[in-house]
Amino acid sequence: MADLANSIELQYLFLFSILLILPKALLRFHIPVGISSIFLGIGTALGLGWFENDQMLLMLSRLGITSLFLFAGLEIEVEELKKDGMALGLHVLQTVAITVAIAIAFFFIFDLSHRAALLLALAIMTPSTGFILNSLKNYGFSEEQQYWIRSKAIAKEIAAIFLLFIALQSDSWSQLGTSSGILISLIVFLPFLFKLFFKFVAPYAPDSEVGFLILVALICGVLTKKIGTYYLVGAFIVGMLASEFKHLGKSHKAEEILKNLGMFFSFFIPFYFFKAGLSFTEDLFTVEGLILGMVFLLVFIPLRIAMVFSTLKFFINDFWKDRNEISTSLLPTLIFGLVIAGILKEKFNLEPRILSGLIVYTLFSSIIPAIVFKKTPPESFV
C-alpha cells in the first residue's frame, strides 16, 4: 500500500481526477474553482506531502497563468477604452495615487522596504481581470454593466502591471534599464511575428491561432520571469498586442479564438491555484495572520467600493444605479494577490503574519461576488 502511495503515476492520477472534477462540482455551492483548487493544494501539501518541486505541475501551472493573462490581454479593446478614456483615466489616476499612499503607510507600519510596501499595496488594491471577466457570465448582468466592469478592471490591471514592473526592477538603474530594453524589444518584435504568422501560416493551418498564441505567451512569460518580473507581464503583453490583430475576423473567427482560449485556460488554471496552495506552509495559519486579514478586509473593501462610487458619481453618473454591481464585481484580487504573495515570500522574505493576512484578504475578497450576487446556472468560473 505504501508503494502505491509513493507511485508517481498514482499521484498524477489522483491530481487529474480530483482537480478536474471536484472544483467544478463545488460550483453548485458558489465556491469558485480557484478557491477550491487552492484548498485542495493546501490539503495535499499538509496531509500527503506530494508534488514538492514537481516539474510537470510547474509546467501545467505556467500554462494556466500565462494563458489566463493572454486571455485578459486579448480582451482589451483600445477603441472601447478610448471612448471613455477620461473617466477611466481619472479612475486609474485615483487608484494609483491611493495605492502609493497605502504603500507609504505600509512602509512605516510594517517596516518594509519601499519595493515590498508597493507590492503589498498592489496585491490589496488590484482587481484580477481574468478571474473577474470569466465570472461575469454567471451573474446575469446587463451589457452596460459588463462593459464598465470590464473596462475598469482592464484599465486598473494595465496600470498595476506597469507598477509591478517598476517595483520589481527598481533595485538599480542598470537592472531597470536592461529589463525595460528587453520589454521594448518584445513590444517591437511581436507585431512582426504576428503579421508573419497570420499572413503565411494561419491561412494554411486551420485552427492554429490558439496554439500559436499560447506558445508565444508561454515563451514571453518565461522570459519576463527570467529577467526578474513575472509570467503574467510577458503573457499580458502578448495578449494586448495580439488584440490589435482581431480585425482579421471582426467576425466569428475572433470570437472562436477567444472561446477556444477560454476553454484552454479553464482547463489549466486550476493547476496554478493548486500549486499555489501547495506553497502554503503551516506557519501561515496563525491567529495573528487571520486578525490582520480581517483588518485588511474591514479597511480596504469599503475603501475600494467608495473609490468606484466616487468615479461613477462624478464622471459616469448615468450608471450610478449600477454602483453596487460594478464595485462589488471589482473586488476579487485572487490572481494578483497570490502572484504577489509568492513574490513577497521568495524575494523579500515577508514575515508570515503579513503574508497570512494578505492571503486571508485575497481569498475572502475574491469570494464576495459569488456570495452577494444571484447567479444564473453556472457554466464555469476560475
For the chain, the average pLDDT equals 84
Residue 38 CA from chain centroid, whole number: 14
First to last CA, the chain: 35
- Give the angle 76-370-221 at the CA atoms, nearest 5°: 40
Residue-wise pLDDT for 59-75, tens only, equals 999 998 898 888 888 87
| pLDDT score recorded for residue 131 | 80
Q: CA 72 to CA 237: how far, in whole Å?
A: 10
Residue 370 confidence (pLDDT) above 90: no
Q: CA 9 to CA 141: how far, in whole Å?
A: 44
Q: Averaged over 181-209, what is the pLDDT? A: 87
| pLDDT score recorded for residue 382 | 56
Residue 376 confidence (pLDDT) above 60: no
**Environment class of 233 (CB within 10 Å of its CB; exposed 0-12, middle 13-18, buried 19+):** buried
| pLDDT score recorded for residue 246 | 55
| pLDDT score recorded for residue 247 | 46
Determine the residue type at 331: L
Residue-wise pLDDT for 73-114, tens only, equals 887 776 766 776 777 778 788 889 999 999 999 999 999 999
Residue 166 confidence (pLDDT) above 60: yes
| pLDDT score recorded for residue 364 | 93
- Report pTM: 0.86
Residue 363 confidence (pLDDT) above 70: yes
Among left, alpha and beta (phi > 0; psi -120 to 50; other), residue 207 is left
What's the grid cell of residue 191?
507585431
Using DSSP's 3-state secondary structure scheme, residue 285 falls into coil
Contact between residue 11 and residue 51 where contact means Cβ atoms under 8 Å apart: yes
**Environment class of 142 (CB within 10 Å of its CB; exposed 0-12, middle 13-18, buried 19+):** exposed
User: What architecture is the 31-172+270-372 domain classified under in CATH?
Assistant: Up-down Bundle (1.20)
Confidence of residue 147 (pLDDT cuts 50, 70, 90): confident
Point out the least confidently predicted range of 67-76, 159-168, 280-289, 370-379.
Answer: 370-379
| pLDDT score recorded for residue 273 | 92
- Give the angle 57-73-32 at the CA atoms, nearest 5°: 55
| pLDDT score recorded for residue 358 | 94
Residue 180 confidence (pLDDT) above 80: yes
What's the grid cell of residue 328?
462589488
Q: What percent of the chain shows pLDDT beyond 90?
A: 27
Contact between residue 332 and residue 131 where contact means Cβ atoms under 8 Å apart: yes
What's the grid cell of residue 21?
472534477
Contact between residue 197 and residue 257 where contact means Cβ atoms under 8 Å apart: no
Among candidate residues 189, 160, 188, 166, the one with its CA nearest the CA of residue 179: 166
Sequence spans of domains, the chain: 31-172+270-372
